[in-house]
Structure 1
């Protein structure tokens, strides 16, 4: 059984903003459509070789913000702490395959790593 948070988090189509900060506090926000909540406490994110991934390596804390317009605007913030990352493996290959189907092969090839995070609500 999935939770309401998981249902909302994983609903497609959706897009959100992932915010990170470096170890010295320089912030970054980027639009991400790939995060997937695989259970009530775990989120998997695919990222390229970019500031977001660099920041997560220095400072494991992040926020994912999802907004949607229904009859009114609503959204959620999910606070996360990265547990592990990988630049190869089955999880990255699976995510790249999913991204290729949704956004094309060029978008999939830009994905360089996965980050697995625990959520803090």
Structure 2
């Protein structure tokens, strides 16, 4: 990528898709917001206790596809390995980029901050240099 991941995800709007698989190889894809890029270069995603998180507990490998808002096919693909998670409500709340939810958990207590090592970054289209 031309920009570093931290500035890229802070400055670029778009749609993200997280793909995971369970221990048996059954796949799932879900819409996710832009990841938070941490100081050490790892990324973090705020997740509910649903299928994506369940799959990551069984199989730590994931792929995140990000398509930039606008014409054409611009974006990136991140190949990830889950390295941990935490459920500190205040930390998660401070990292959220949008308004609090109005669903069944208005206090956002059923959330996890899941961290990943970035194993490889590729452009949205093409092979790229495979960093």
Please indicate, yes or no, whether the TM-score normalized by the shorter chain is above 0.5: yes
Aligned runs of 1:64-75 on 2, under 5 Å?
Answer: 64-75=64-75
* SS in structure 1 at match of 2:57: helix
Relative to structure 1, is the Cα distance of residues 14 and 70 closer, same or farther in structure 2, using a 3 angstrom cutoff?
A: closer
Q: Corresponding residue for 2:38?
A: 38
Provide the aligned length of Structure 1 versus Structure 2.
115
Q: Return 5+ residue gaps in structure 2 as ranges.
A: 121-131
Q: Greater helix percent: which structure?
A: 1
Q: What TM-score results when the alignment is normalised by the length of structure 1? A: 0.79
Runs of 4+ in 1 over 6 A off after TM superposition: none
What RMSD, in angstroms, separates the aligned Cα atoms of the two structures?
2.4
Q: What TM-score results when the alignment is normalised by the length of structure 2? A: 0.73
Equivalent residues of 1:41, 1:120 under 8 A apart:
no
Which whole-Å CA distance do the structure 1 matches of 2:109 and 2:89 have between them? Answer: 15
Equivalent residues of 2:9, 2:34 under 8 A apart:
no
Q: Return 5+ residue gaps in structure 1 as ranges.
A: none
